[in-house]
A and B are shown apart, each in its own frame.
Chain A
Amino acid sequence: LAKTTQPISMDSYEGQEVNITCSHNNIATNDYITWYQQFPSQGPRFIIQGYKTKVTNEVASLFIPADRKSSTLSLPRVSLSDTAVYYCLVGYSGNTPLVFGKGTRLSVIA
């Protein structure tokens, strides 16, 4: 699976939009980009998945440029409850084990 690089930590104030960028220079043609969220003492939770351009759901948006060597997870108007670790994963099939990096620890401040 393609190696990913993302910031170790980020801070944000409540109500702001947060953008977390992930680099994946070696992404393969068939690879999808997926983001998971993990709260303390809980298992990770799927947030969003995309292949190219833009994907939006009720939780977040995922922006993927044409070369697909990076992606940006956008969280609109964060609240304290969005404080969590966010993982970027790149791979082809949902039926293979996930490979997590260290993720980005987002702290939302009141």
Chain B
Amino acid sequence: DTGVSQDPRHKITKRGQNVTFRCDPISEHNRLYWYRQTLGQGPEFLTYFQNEAQLEKSRLLSDRFSAERPKGSFSTLEIQRTEQGDSAMYLCASSHNSGFSYEQYFGPGTRLTVT
């Protein structure tokens, strides 16, 4: 399977704990995006990378959230001191650096439940 993969698929954690998610993009894609989706809503942008550089962060990304993409390959999203409001599906997507296509390839997501 050469699509975007995410790990884990599900995570249940207690409030106050730290969690880390991993995303492996399609290998030739240099852009990598993180989105968050809550029930009944469309995905909301969190942050994105071009290669290893983090180019933009949403205001949704509080200081408890940090993302990295070392060496421009896989990426990790860490949430520190989780809160119940962090419960959501965290989606990763990747794309090639082409100017006129809006096609981003999404992974299956990591569903986070904070108890």
Contact = CB atoms under 8 A, between A and B. Distances in A.
A46 B103 contact: yes
A29 interface: no
Contacts of B95: 94-95
A45 B41 CA distance: 16
Given A95-B95, A99-B45, A102-B40, A43 B103 contact: no
Contacts of B66: none
B55 to A, nearest CB: 9
Given A43-B107, A97-B33, A99-B45, A49 B102 contact: yes
Contacts of A93: 99-100, 102
Interface string B1-38: 00010000000000000000000000000010101000
A85 B41 CA distance: 10
Contacts of B108: 41-43
B102 A42 contact: no
Interface residues of B, number: 32
Contacts of B101: 49, 94
A91 B101 CA distance: 10
B106 interface: yes
Interface in A66-110: 85, 87, 89, 91, 93-95, 97-103
A64 to B, nearest CB: 14
Contacts of A43: 4, 91-93, 106-109
A34 interface: yes
Contact of B45 (A41, A94, A95, A97): A97
10 contacts: A32-B100, A43-B91, A43-B109, A89-B102, A94-B102, A94-B103, A95-B95, A95-B97, A97-B45, A98-B45
Given A43-B92, A100-B42, 15 more contacts: A34-B102, A43-B93, A46-B103, A49-B103, A94-B102, A94-B103, A95-B95, A95-B99, A97-B33, A97-B35, A97-B45, A97-B48, A98-B102, A98-B104, A102-B42
